[in-house]
Amino acid sequence: MNEPTSNAPFPPVNGNALKRSRFREIAGILGRLRYAGDEDGRFRKYILCHLVWTILRGFFYSLFKFTSSGVISVGTRVRVVGPKNNLVFGKRCKIERCVYLQAISRSKLRFGDDVTICEGTMVRPSGHWGGNLGSGLVMGHRSSIGAYSFIGCAGSISIGDDVMIGPRITIIAENHNFSDLTRPMNGQGVNNRGVIIGNDVWIGACATILDGVTIGDHAIIAAGAVVTRDVEPYAIVAGVPARKVRSRKTDLPAHGG
């Protein structure tokens, strides 16, 4: 996964060059604004109107709410909490309506190019009323988070490139301690091992990924699965708890024969 690592992730550029770059980005987005099967373009004007308003809103957010290296689309009622320089987006990202992004964390929340965060999603590393300071999140290029998902990055979460995360997903990089039977569990603290999701992973709707899990490249997590242990590359896992049902690499026929 390619990701910015510097404290100054975007090099300084000439003002005119920046304007030309942004216009090229917008032109590229407009060129892709079409639905398969809509040859006469009768729906294009609706998404074009929506795009104009969300890009204008994205320009405002990039001035005051977060850092972006390019054009970004922001829906209505998007809430950002935390310092601007702790939330970093790449180019051509889309943040849909009612998304909540909390950037109160030890490390930055970093999103690559062409990332989509769908409606109603919450990304939250830390509590609202103090407590432990969360770690943060890194998400690669062309990855997406489905609607109404919860990403609890109290421990570090790393998501690779080209990852498809379905709706109502829960990823929690934290566990409560419970070994002391003489004390309430909510007073025993927490532990964090982190979650790593590789490249080209598909996570089905309503799945849950728990702390300490590593999901290998090209794996598939079935809808509704609860992942409590590592998933090897190319594996397809399903169930509660999730278990391997087959491998994409060895059990499926090769293309073309």
Whether 176 is a known active-site residue: answer yes
Whole-angstrom Cα distance, residue 168 to residue 121?
8
Whole-angstrom Cα distance, residue 46 to residue 247?
42
Tokens 């957010």, residue located: 61
Which residue among the candidates 50, 176, 218, 255 is catalytic per the annotation?
176
DSSP 3-state assignment of 138? strand
List the structure tokens of 107.
Answer: 């490390």
Whole-angstrom Cα distance, residue 200 to residue 157?
16
Let me know: does 144 contact 164? Beta carbons within 8 Å: yes
CA nearest 177: which of 190, 187, 164?
A: 190
Q: Catalogue the active-site residues.
A: 176
